[in-house]
A and B are shown apart, each in its own frame.
Chain A
Amino acid sequence: MTGPTSNEELRELVASAGAPVETIAAAAATTPMIAFRIGPRWFAVSAAEVREVVTLEAITPVPGVAQQILGVALVRGRLVPILDLAALLDCPRSGEPAITRPRLIVLTHGDDEAALIADETVGVLELPPPVSTGDAGLVRGELRWSTHIVAVLDVSTIIHAVTAAESRS
């Protein structure tokens, strides 16, 4: 047994064990995804396209932008546009109220990023590929997780919706 270890030593140990998650995912034929709830509906996005999940602090409204953009939020020094996914998908806002403060899921695609507001997140899950619903657009397909039907979102389409809305404004 070694003596007491410092935070830096623990950080080094974790870093040294950082095998790529893709290797594990390929072997299991599943994909790491972040699942989250907006109102009564569950969604998931590829974890590879999630920059971070943070507690929602404040949204600064931006006059003149498209209706589906709620505003911008400051995330680690960056201003990230916030997309109103519930409005975009015509998702009812009723459902189990959030127990925690709402979460901001920061999505990234290339150099662009955008964020969604979720009532609840459940972290990284290894989920099977979604079954296509035949609908092109924001939803790539659906899968079953636990007792929920989860809509898997297409992050590139979401971010394109934001950048398109920004360019129109």
Chain B
Amino acid sequence: MSVAIMRFRAGASGYAVAAGCVEGVGPARPGVPHLVQLLDARTAGDHPGAHHDDSDHVRTLRLVVRGQRLEVAVDGPIDVVEIARDDITPCRSTLSSRILGFARLDGDMYALLDADNLFAAEHAPG
């Protein structure tokens, strides 16, 4: 079994989401929340565009899950790759309802986002 994912970065961390959840990718737009903010994942050096000198690498993802749409800003580069079971790093728990698990690709670790729970994050109070 293998699945296609879209991978990208948010600050210092790599993330990916099921490719089927991505309706489109566009340029950065004001007012679109960054994934770092959505995940409240800010750590030292972990801020939008942390790997880049400017915001040219910020893109807007349009996600669709179960008919709901969510726009979120992420940092590039963005690409679509296929992952298999062997790419998944086993772990007892990801410790976050927003992360399904972790995949190691090309030496980098990517957190596999649970798109369902991203929508919950977007609509959470506060």
The residues of A with any CB-CB pair to B shorter than 8 Å are: 1-7, 9-14, 16-21, 24, 32, 34, 47-48, 50, 52-53, 55, 57, 99-101, 120, 123-124
Contact = CB atoms under 8 A, between A and B. Distances in A.
A35 to B, nearest CB: 13
Contacts of B44: 99
Interface stretch (B24-32, B52-60, B69-77, B110-118): B110-118
Interface string B75-107: 000000011111011111101100011000000
Given A6-B21, A52-B93, 17 more contacts: A1-B82, A5-B4, A5-B20, A7-B21, A9-B1, A9-B18, A10-B5, A12-B1, A13-B2, A13-B85, A16-B88, A17-B86, A17-B101, A20-B90, A20-B92, A47-B92, A100-B40
A5 B1 CA distance: 11
Contacts, number: 100
A21 B116 contact: no
B50 interface: no
B3 interface: yes
B65 interface: yes
Contacts of B82: 1-2
A2 B3 contact: yes
A80 to B, nearest CB: 15
A126 to B, nearest CB: 11
A16 B18 contact: no
